[in-house]
Amino acid sequence: MRNTIQNLFNDQLDTWMLAKNNYAALEQVRVKELIVNGIGYKVQFNPARIVSSAAKVDSKSIQERKCFLCPAHLPAEQKGIPFGERYTLLVNPFPIFPRHLTIPEKAHVDQRILMRIGDMLDLAATLPDFVIFYNGPKCGASAPDHAHFQAGNKGFLPIEQQWKNRREKRIVTQGEATLWLLNDAPRHTLVIESKHKEEAVELFHRIYNALDQQADQEEPMMNVLAWFETNGEQNQDSGTYVVCVFPRSLHRPSCYTAEGEANMLISPASVDMGGVFIMPREADFEKITATDIANILTEVCLSAEALESLIERIKQ
């Protein structure tokens, strides 16, 4: 699969000018690093991502546009690779990562994770060079009406290296799998570590069922990252599934709609939760501080009290 993916990128960047230009522009993006409560975060100035950050995801706007993930509406230049019977691997033309995939279902069905977490882990095991991510319908997804994952090359997100040193509390075990709480407030990350897919799925269901679901929400608010650590081996029997779940309480922070100097166009999704804040406007990139990131995370993530309540429900 590694060669197949590389061939797809080579072909798309040769034949699709939009993708070619946006991947070339990645080489010029500006990045700065900030420390929030002892944890390193990166901030990326990436103007092409304004398509996602400013996406209108209210019901009226979704109904009035064509779904850009449906096969019938893909750009003529966009080609894909089948994954199983339900998904297609596509090159994302508005990249954050040097290698960035969008993985939509072929059918036009709503963005939901509960019955697809096993698919997410299958993707992680099949694409061991990538981190797979899921954005909830009101947690950064720019297409909440069409089920999809995304994938970005490993080595990009700070949390990939941080999580092992941040394990603070063992919450529960499921067979040989463990659910950890990281010491990374105000982000509050739950991490599943498992040698077996089935046990990882069971632990995820346990988290999902314990989460509060707001009356106007389609599912509990969350972002999810997953990857497969192989330790250099290509044998799926010798690796470890790692799943980071970020429970959310809010779609967008107050700065998104603030007036004047307080306004910043930031709509946090899985990549931001993983430690890379994407800023499509240069002025926002220049002015954002570690305090701003802490405030944004405090707003969109669970409070300490809500987190403790969630943990108690997971244990039951």
Q: How many CA atoms lie within 13 A of 251 on its CB side?
A: 20
Name the E strands within the chain: 30-36, 39-45, 80-83, 87-91, 100-104, 130-135, 148-153, 167-174, 177-182, 190-194, 222-229, 240-247, 276-279
Sheet strands side by side (includes 30-36): 30-36, 39-45, 276-279
- Letter for the amino acid at 84? G
Side chain identity at residue 222, one-letter code: M
- What CATH number matches the domain at 2-315, 3.40.50.880, 3.30.70.100, 3.40.50.2000, 3.30.428.70? 3.30.428.70
- DSSP conformational letter for 159: H
Amino acid at 260: G
Entry pTM: 0.91
Angstrom distance (rounded) from CA 215 to CA 281: 34
Cβ proximity of 265 and 149 under 8 Å: no
Structure tokens at 241: 């599934």
CB 186 within 8 A of CB 135: no
Return d(Cα 21, Cα 159) in angstroms, integer: 29
* Tokens standing for residue 279: 């800023």
Cite the beta strand spans of 95-164 per DSSP E.
100-104, 130-135, 148-153
Q: Is the dihedral of CA 265, 132, 150, 246 positive or negative?
A: negative
Residues sharing a CB contact under 8 Å with residue 164, sequence separation 6 or more, in sequence order: none
Tokens 């947690």 belong to which residue?
A: 139
- What percentage of the chain's residues is helix, strand, coil (to nearest 5)? 35, 25, 35
Q: Walk along the chain (316 residues) and give the pLDDT tens digit of each residue.
A: 888 999 999 999 999 999 999 999 888 889 999 999 999 999 999 887 765 544 454 566 556 578 888 888 898 999 999 998 999 999 999 999 999 999 999 999 888 999 999 999 999 999 999 999 999 888 887 788 888 999 999 999 999 999 998 888 999 998 999 999 999 999 999 999 999 999 999 999 999 999 988 777 789 999 999 999 987 655 556 799 999 999 999 989 999 989 989 999 998 999 999 999 999 899 999 999 999 999 999 999 999 999 999 999 999 8
> What confidence score (pLDDT) does residue 290 get?
96
Q: From the CB of residue 196, how many other CB atoms can be counted at a distance below 10 Å?
A: 16
DSSP string spanning 267-309?
---HHHHTTEEEESSHHHHHH--HHHHHHHHHHHBPPHHHHHH
